[in-house]
Each structure stands twice: as C-alpha cells, then as structure tokens.
Copies of this chain bind each other. A is one copy, B any other.
Amino acid sequence: MSDDLFARTRALFDLPEGVIYLDGNSLGAMPKAARERVRRELDENWGRELIRAWNTAGWIDMPSRIGDRIGALIGAPTGSVMAADSTSVNLYKALNAALRLAGPRKTILSDSGNFPTDLYIAEGLIGALDRGYQLKVVALEEVTEAMDETVAVLMLTEVDYRTGRLHDMAALTAKAKALGIVTIWDLAHSAGALPVDLTGVGADFAVGCGYKYLNGGPGAPAFIYVRPGLQDEVAPVLSGWMGHAAPFEFDLHYRPAPAMHRLRAGTPPVLSMAALEAALTVWDGVDMAVVRARSIALGEAFIQTVESLCRELQLASPRDPERRGSQVSFRFAHGYEVMQALIAEGIIGDFRAPDIMRFGFTPLYLSPGEVEAAARRVAAVINQRLWDQPKFRARNKVT
C-alpha cells in the first residue's frame, strides 16, 4: 500500500541515473511538474502574455496560493501562510512582530542547535532596534529550564540541522504560552519531513524553507505563518507595496493589507515561485503520517546497516527515531573526506563542520533499496579507508 504510494511519488521526480540522493534536507530533488511549469511560465506567460500574465496567469496570487498548499502540510488553516522572500527575511518580519507583541520583556531565547542564520538575524534586529533586547542562546536540553517570565520570545528551529534532533514543539509551546512568551518556530527541516500541527500546538509564528523537503528548487521562496488571531495585530516592518491594502492605488501612505497579505513585501520572484507551486502538487493525496513512518523506517534501516558493518562511526542523531527529523548524522574525524569519496561515487549526502556527515531521507523519491545500498557503501568506504588511497583519490578527483 505505502509501497504503491511511494512508487507513484518517485515517478513524479526527475532524478539522475547513478545517483543515490541523500541530501533532500539541503536541496530537494526536481519534481517533473516543477520543470514543466517553469517552462510554461517562460514560453506561454512571460514570453507571450508579458505584463498581462500578472492577471491572466495568476502571478499576483501565487504567494497566498502557495502559502495555502504549504499550510496544509503544517497544520495551518487556509489564509494563514504566505510564501515570500527567504527564511532569513521572514524570520526578521516574525521576530520584529513578536517583540512588539511581547511588550516590555527584553530576552529572545534560542538554542545553539538553531540554524545560525536565525541567530544572526536576531542579532541584526537587536542592533537596529537598540532598545536593550538580548539574545540568550542556551544548549538544546536547557531550553525548557531557561523559559521564565523575563523571556519575550522563544525562537527555535524544530529540527536541528546538524543532528536531526527534534524539539518537543507541543510541550515547549505550551510552556511558553503559560509564561506569556511569544513563540516563533523555524520549520526549515520540518515542513514536508514530518507532521507539524501549528494550530494544535498553538504556535504564534512560524517560518520555513521552500527548497528542502518541499522540493521547490534552489533558493525557492520561503514561507511565514502567523496565528490567525494575531494577524491583524502585526505591524509589518518590511512594509512594501505588495503588502499594502490597495497596492495599485499608489497611496502615499502605507495601510496594511488584511491578515497575512501584509506579510508580503516586494514583487515576488515569479519563476522561482512557479517551481515551488508546481513542486507542491506532488503532495496531493499524500498522508504526512505515512511519509513519516516511511522516513523512520528508512533511517532505522540505514543506521542498522551502517552500524552492523562498521564500528568506527558515532551516531550524532538521537537513537530514538521519534526524537529525530528525517535525517541521520554520524560523527567521524575523517567525515569530510568520506563524504567527498561518497559523492564521487554518486552517493550524495553532505558534511557539516567539524565532523558531521548528514544523510537525509525523503520517502517521496528514495527507496529502501537505495538506502540499503548507500549504507553499505558508507561502511565500505570507511572500512577500506578508501578516501585515503591515492588511486581512489585520483580517480574520483577527491581533493
């Protein structure tokens, strides 16, 4: 049953021969529908309709249409998600709004497993506002304890980009709520990877990425969510014309558009938006719980095979699959060289300094057989110290 489903979704992707792709957590593979859609935008819309396509091809509504498709994957109601800008820029919008809503409190709480851009953006905003805000970054396991009534905003990424470790979003959000802390969740490694229920957990803001598990293409537009009850309280900081109540009236003063529309800033990059919109059609008829079950099965199989064949690696991810996102990471001193050797063979994962090898599992296009084959090669490359052999290095151009 689920095999049928994944055979069907696999056929929706265009994957190169001879490659086992374990890096969908960094850049998702290309859905055929995305390629066809972008070609159509070029040939039929930009090329033939020109400026008229903003209406005739519906370009103007892409950010909200895409937002609704993403919303369906993360437990967000229609009209509560907007596709726009990059994750960094959306986090800036969310954090500025969250600090305003939080009143006089001055602390932004995050953890050292957050993706660095989130921390950088917070630093930039704090510097610009210059009102005594501070960013407090604690270890992953200290977040719960660090929450108290001095904290204005809790800003976390659900899935640690290095290890795949999963925060307990429901419990942390509930505690934050009880303490009057505004919450911002970064779903970069969650959306399309596992079930997310923004409504159920009561998150205030969320942002996330279009180019990882959503397969929207390189640098695809990101998204932003605001809890419906808060949307009309948000005073947009990036108050561009596309977020104006009447952008084509060209008023001299800004009036925020209703609800989420105010979270738009400038003109959206249509070609990249189109790829993302079409990519999201691969989720039609796909149950995220089934994807999650398969992702766990793939990850478990990978760990078991690697560890049964090779004793040198240290699992960097939580061993309990319920505490992991859709990736498995191993620590290894020669991880960089091993990954280069694997990539040279067409087994594509990635490496994060100082010593983490990451392998992402994307059930929509990755089969159990491929995962098994990849695990065997990982073990073999290490056991034979292949990356160290001059002949191998020369043949595979390992540098």
Which A residues lie at the B interface, using CB under 8 A?
14, 16, 19, 21, 23, 26-27, 29-30, 34-35, 38-39, 41-43, 45-48, 50-54, 59, 85-89, 92, 96, 112, 115-117, 119-121, 123-125, 127-131, 137, 211, 217-222, 235-242, 244, 248-254, 265-273, 275, 343, 348, 350, 352-353
Taking CB as reference atom, which chain B residue is nearest A352?
A: B250
Instruction: For the complex formed, measure the closest distance between the CB of A394 and the CB atoms of chain B, giving whole angstroms.
Output: 19
Instruction: For the complex formed, measure the closest distance between the CB of A377 and the CB atoms of chain B, giving whole angstroms.
Output: 17
Are the C-beta atoms of B38 and A116 separated by less than 8 Å?
no
Instruction: For the complex formed, measure the closest distance between the CB of A329 and the CB atoms of chain B, giving whole angstroms.
Output: 14
A19-B50 contact in complex given A59-B218, A85-B266, A129-B128, C-beta closer than 8 Å: yes
Return chain B residues, CB-CB under 8 Å to A27.
46, 50-51, 54
Taking CB as reference atom, which chain B residue is nearest A351?
A: B248
Can you name 27 A-B residue pairings with CB atoms under 8 Å? A30-B50, A38-B42, A38-B271, A46-B218, A50-B348, A51-B350, A85-B85, A85-B89, A88-B266, A89-B89, A89-B240, A92-B238, A96-B128, A116-B250, A116-B252, A117-B240, A117-B241, A117-B266, A123-B239, A125-B237, A128-B128, A218-B267, A219-B267, A221-B269, A248-B353, A271-B271, A271-B272
Instruction: For the complex formed, measure the closest distance between the CB of A119 and the CB atoms of chain B, giving whole angstroms.
Output: 6
Report the bound CA distance from A130 to B21 in whole Å.
Answer: 49
Taking CB as reference atom, which chain B residue is nearest A53?
A: B218
Report the bound CA distance from A238 to B237 in whole Å.
Answer: 12
Return chain B residues, CB-CB under 8 Å to A268.
86, 219
**Most chain B beta-carbon contacts within 10 A, residue among A19, A217, A236, A238:** A238
Partner of A116, one of B29, B34, B218, B244: B244
Report the bound CA distance from A248 to B351 in whole Å.
Answer: 10
Taking CB as reference atom, which chain B residue is nearest A119?
A: B252
Are the C-beta atoms of A218 and B270 separated by less than 8 Å?
yes
Return chain B residues, CB-CB under 8 Å to A221.
269
Are the C-beta atoms of A239 and B124 separated by less than 8 Å?
yes
Are the C-beta atoms of A254 and B54 separated by less than 8 Å?
no
Return chain B residues, CB-CB under 8 Å to A239.
120-121, 123-124, 127
Return chain B residues, CB-CB under 8 Å to A353.
248-250
Report the bound CA distance from A217 to B296 in whole Å.
Answer: 41
Are the C-beta atoms of A46 and B236 separated by less than 8 Å?
no
Are the C-beta atoms of B30 and A35 separated by less than 8 Å?
no
Instruction: For the complex formed, measure the closest distance between the CB of A40 and the CB atoms of chain B, giving whole angstroms.
Output: 11
Are the C-beta atoms of A269 and B219 separated by less than 8 Å?
yes
Instruction: For the complex formed, measure the closest distance between the CB of A61 and the CB atoms of chain B, giving whole angstroms.
Output: 13
* Contacts A89-B265, A120-B239, A248-B353 known; 9 new A-B pairs at CB < 8 A: A14-B47, A26-B51, A51-B348, A52-B343, A86-B266, A88-B240, A117-B240, A218-B270, A271-B272
Report the bound CA distance from A253 to B119 in whole Å.
Answer: 7
**Most chain B beta-carbon contacts within 10 A, residue among A41, A52, A124:** A124
Partner of A124, one of B47, B220, B237: B237
Report the bound CA distance from A339 to B10 in whole Å.
Answer: 48
Are the C-beta atoms of B127 and A129 separated by less than 8 Å?
no
